Structure 1
Amino acid sequence: MDQMGQVLLLMQQQQMMALNMQQQQQMMATLMRALAQNFGMPEPEAPSLATPMTNTNNLYERFQRHRPCTFEGTYRLEEVKYWLNRVIKLLRSLHYSEVENVELISYLFEKEADLWWESVLRSIFKNHIWTWEAFKARFNEKYIPQSYQHERDNEFLRLQQGRMSVAQYENHFTELSRYASEMIANEAIKMRRFTAGLRNAIR
């Protein structure tokens, strides 16, 4: 099944689930009113209908309104980083779930990248649920060599403010920290590493 077929199937499943939930709640409300009338009890207020599940088509349309760049599978590291960072910023601003992020970003794959992603999907079991970290690990494994990752790790460990302004140092630190997530498992560790690189007078 191609990607568009998968999208349509997911849309249908979500719409059916939302419809079934609403029907069940309406039936329950009718039953409660009938019981109240038979036993002379005040008629209960009708329960509010649950918010329907997000329509995949609406997510996709909202995503596309921002005109995200497609990705054809280049191995030029700067281009890969630039594309990935732009898409991550867009997804972060839209506040989608991890599963939705993976689904939406996969629509941007074209040519070689699309063939690669299709092969990844075929290699796993059908109902596998992708987390963002799992997707990013697969993507980095394919398009960002391990040697490049090691270089960024070492650069992050050696980073010092030196003659940079605090703003310049912060920008450089933030950029490198994207490749050093295992070294900064939480905000406290990240802050200690940031502070350690500042000039003594500022620290």
Structure 2
Amino acid sequence: MATSMQQQQQMMVTMMRAMTQNMGMLPPVQPGLAAPAANINNLFERFQRYRPPTFAGTHRPKEAEYWLNRVTKLLRPLHCTEAESVEILSYLFEKKADLWWESVLRSIPEGHVWTWEAFEARFNEKYFPQTYQHERKNKFLRLQQGGMTIAQYENRFIELSRYASEMIADEVIKMRRFSAGLRSDIRSKMCCASIRTYAELVEMSIRVEQDEERVTWNRS
């Protein structure tokens, strides 16, 4: 009797899930990820307005890097949590990339909460050979602002920093590397400032840059 009731309940749950998916209310639940909440649906709908490119997998690291950089930028206006960002991007995988992601999900415990760092580590391991990662890491270590604005320099800094995750995990080391790449005229004006975080460092750099631009404008 009890077994019969349990079977009926299970059939009802299965039917409700099928009806919900057919009505387009929720995307199918993937293993290893919690069922999407209403907030995820709203975020994904907003994300789709930017027409994000799908990703089918590739043997060319630069193509994978271009895709990841592009969709990461499209995510920024949504102000997602790291777990939400990973979940949203997972719906852009197709073909071989989708098969790879499903295998990743099967390898982790149920209820696992993704961090962006963990997602990038998996993505890099799959699509970026060690030689390519070493090359990009060296570019990160040698990165200089040069003729770039602070905003352009920081974007490049963030893009390359994914290949030196062990360095940027430490806030102090991350700040030192960013400061080392700044133009000397900007860096010298910040040497006595009390800066405690990376965000404060970037903000202060922008202020110094703006002050210099105003001085140059007034002289002209």
Structure 2 gap ranges (5+): 1-16, 188-220
Does residue 165 of the first structure (1) align with residue 190 of the second (2)? no
Tell me the equivalent position of 1:57: 41
What displacement does 1:59 show?
A: 2.4
Change (3 A) 1:126 1:193: closer
- Give the distance between the partners of 1:202 and 1:131, measured in 2 at CA: 33
The one-letter code of the counterpart of 1:138 is R
Mapped partners of 1:138, 1:132: distance in 2: 10
Q: Which amino acid aligns with 1:165?
A: G
3-state DSSP class of the match of 1:73? coil
Change (3 A) 1:186 1:57: same
87-96 or 146-155: bigger deviation: 146-155
Q: 1:130 and 1:184, CA in 2 relative to 1: closer, same or farther beyond 3 A?
A: closer
1:76 is aligned to 2:60: yes
Q: Secondary structure at the match of 1:92?
A: helix
Query: Contact 2:55/2:94 (CA < 8 Å) preserved in 1?
Result: yes
Measured on the aligned residues, the alpha-carbon RMSD in Å equals 3.1
Q: Alpha-carbon deviations, 1:61-118, whole Å to 9, x = none?
A: 1221221100000121111111101111111220111221111100000100001111
Per the alignment, residue 29 of structure 2 pairs with 6
* Partner residue of 1:96 out of 72, 77, 80: 80
Shift of 1:138: 0.9
Structure 2-normalised TM-score? 0.60
Q: Does 1:117 align with 2:101?
A: yes
CA deviation after TM superposition for structure 1 residue 133, in Å: 1.6
Q: What is the distance in 2 between the residues matched to 1:103 and 1:141? A: 19
Q: Is the 1:73–1:111 Cα contact (8 Å) retained in structure 2? A: yes
Q: Indicate how the Cα distance of structure 1 residues 110 and 167 shifts in structure 2: closer, same or farther if over 3 A, else same.
A: same
**1:130-145 aligned within 5 A:** 130-145=114-129
Question: CA offset at residue 195 of structure 1?
Answer: 3.5
Letter in 1 for 2:50: H
Q: Deviations over 1:137-157 (max 9, x none)?
A: 111111112221112222322
Q: CA deviation at 1:186?
A: 4.6
After superposition, give the CA deviation of every residue in 1:170-197 in whole Å (9 maximum; x if it has no partner): 2654543332232233554334323334
Q: Which has the higher helix share?
A: 2
**Whole-angstrom CA distance in 2 between matches of 1:201 and 1:67:** 41
Change (3 A) 1:72 1:160: same
Q: Counterpart in 2 of 1:33?
A: none
Distance in 1, matches of 2:40 and 2:117, equals: 21
Tell me whether 1:108 sits opposite 2:96 in the alignment. no
CA distance in 1, matches of 2:67, 2:130: 19
**Counterparts in 2 of 1:97 and 1:195: CA distance versus 1, 3 Å:** closer
User: Contact 1:10–1:56 at 8 Å: present in 2 too?
Assistant: no
Instruction: Report the structure number with the largest CA radius of gyration.
Output: 1
Query: Aligned ranges for residues 192-203 of structure 1 at < 5 Å?
Result: 192-197=176-181, 203=187
In 2, the alpha carbon distance for the partners of 1:131 and 1:4 equals 21
Give the equivalent residue in structure 2 for 1:181. 165
Post-superposition offset of 1:166? 4.5
